[in-house]
Structure 1
Amino acid sequence: MLEIKKLTKKYDTNTIFRDLNLTVNDGEVLSIVGPSGIGKTTLIKILAGLETANSGHIMLNGDELPVDGTRFDAKVGLIFQDFNLFPQYTVIENITLAPINVRKTDKVVARQQANNILTTLGMLDKADLYPYQLSGGQKQRVAIARALAMNPQILAYDEPTSGLDEVATKQVGDIVQTLKGQGVTQLIITHDQTFAEMVSDRVFDFATEVQR
């Protein structure tokens, strides 16, 4: 379970959000909706340890996660809006890079785990391709696979359907549901209300919360 309590983020004198409270249950798919520039992406960057907060608490499965920039774990796997795949590496290399170099996973084990994830996501036949050879929807699936390879406790998406056509958007939705069936807790940042309602157990209106 993820519990966010009284989380506050400021940039100088500009308050992005104040005393934000939110709970995400184990295995839940929660979408956070709201207009661009309101602080949704900032929130998940804080959850992933890529951004600091000024105050507040984040509890994940009973453990408190520091919000002061001292985190170096992969408890929250973040899937970036622009995928951030390494163009010089193949799909399988993109997925195994962090497990091998950060977690010191054996190369053979890392590759087998990556193959298992790619099978789940319907991408095993693309393992040896490079990012430029993939469609936008396929790149999104590789980004999801790369995050899953680090065994996060929560998977967080930043605008996962941005720039995708209707077919690719549906494919992302199908993946979200597949992972939900496997018990993966998922947090989705999106401005796409229709997508949010299609894939989520619950939709959290960020604009309403921060304006309280």
Structure 2
Amino acid sequence: MLEIKNLTKKYADNTIFKSLDLTVQDGEVLSIVGPSGIGKTTLIKILAGLETADSGEIKLNHDVLAVDGSRSDAKVGLIFQDFNLFPNYSVLDNVALAPISVMKLSKSEARQVAKQLLETLGMSDKVALYPFQLSGGQKQRVAIARALAMQPQILAYDEPTSGLDEASTRQVAEVVKTLKQQGVTQMIITHDQFFAELVSDRVFDFATEVKR
């Protein structure tokens, strides 16, 4: 379970949000909606350790996560809006790279993990391709597989359907639902109300529920 208590983030004199309280249950899919520039992406970057918070507490399955920028763990898997795939690596190597470099798995072990994840996400026939050869929905699934390869306790998506057509959006929705069936806790930042309602157990409106 993810528990956020009294979380506050400021940039100079500008308060992005303050005293934010939010709980996400194990296996829950929570979508966070709201207009651009309101602090949604900042929140998940703080969760992933890529941004600092000014005060507050984050607990993930009883572990307290530092909010001062000192974290280097992969307990929160962040899936970026622009995928951030390495163009010079194949699909398989994009997924296997972090387990090799961070988790110190052997190349054969990491590739085996990557193949299993890609198969689960319906990408087993694309392992030898490069990112430029993939559709937007396929790139999104590779990015999800790459995050899962680090064995995170929660997945956080930043606008996962941005720029995708309807067919690709539905493919990503099916992936989210499949992961939910496997018990994966997921937090989704999105402007896409249709997508949020399609995949979520609960929708959190950042504009109305967060203090500034």
TMscore range, shorter length = over 0.9
Q: Which residue of 2 aligns with 1:61?
A: 61
The separation in 2 between residues aligned to 1:49 and 1:126, in whole angstroms, is 31
Pairing 1:1-212 to 2, within 5 Å after superposition: 1-211=1-211
For residues 183 and 210 of structure 1, the distance between their equivalents in structure 2, rounded to whole angstroms, comes to 28
Quote how far apart the aligned CAs of 1:106 are. Answer: 1.4
* AA aligned opposite 1:10: K
SS at match of 1:104: coil
TM-score, normalised via structure 2 length: 0.99
* Cα distance in 2 for residues equivalent to 1:94 and 1:71: 23
Identity of aligned residues (%): 77
Q: Which amino acid aligns with 1:93?
A: D
Give, as a single letter, the amino acid of the residue that structure 2 aligns with 1:89: Y
Indicate the SS of the match to 2:140.
Answer: helix
Counterpart amino acid of residue 121 in structure 2: L
In structure 2, distance between residues paired with 1:186 and 1:13: 32
Note the C-alpha offset of 1:211.
Answer: 4.1
Q: How much does 1:182 deviate?
A: 0.3
Q: How many angstroms does 1:109 deviate by?
A: 1.1
Cα offset for 1:210?
A: 2.0
Question: How far did 1:107 drift?
Answer: 1.2
Q: Which runs of 5+ in 2 are unaligned?
A: none
Q: Number of residue pairs matched?
A: 212
Q: Deviations over 1:87-113 (max 9, x none)?
A: 011111110110001110111111111
Q: Which runs of 5+ in 1 are unaligned?
A: none
The aligned amino acid for 1:109 is E
**Cα distance in structure 2, aligned partners of 1:71 and 1:171:** 33
Could you list the structure 1 runs, at least 4 aligned residues long, displaced by more than 4 angstroms after superposition: none
One-letter amino acid of the structure 2 residue matched with residue 137 of structure 1: G
- The normalised TM-score by structure 1 is 0.99
What CA RMSD, in Å, does the superposition of the two structures yield over aligned residues?
0.7
The aligned amino acid for 1:104 is: K
